[in-house]
Amino acid sequence: MLETSRIDCPYCGEGFDIEVDCSAGDQEYVEDCPVCCQPIEVQVSVDFAGNLAGVQARRGDD
């Protein structure tokens, strides 16, 4: 099940939408910002029912 979530780039501050596959459960991956091309570490939390519980974006160099 794909859900759309909006995140802000921790480098340039620009907001953009990402597609999250909730059927994969909790996950962490790197996605490049479409504006400044910096690597963003994305952490996805999914609840027990398979619904998106939260998305966090952080800098890779923190």
pLDDT (tens digit, 9 = 90+) per residue, 5-60?
A: 999 999 999 999 999 999 999 999 999 999 999 999 999 999 999 999 999 999 97
Q: 53 by DSSP, 3-state: which?
A: strand
pLDDT value at residue 60: 79
**Domain-by-domain residue ranges, the chain?**
2-59
The alpha carbons of the chain give a radius of gyration, in whole angstroms, of 12
Q: Say if CB 10 and CB 61 are below 8 A apart.
A: no
Q: Looking at the predicted structure, is the pLDDT value of residue 62 above 90?
A: no
Residues 6 or more apart whose Cβ sits within 8 Å of residue 40: 7, 9, 10, 11, 30, 31, 32, 33, 57, 58, 59, 60
pLDDT value at residue 61: 76
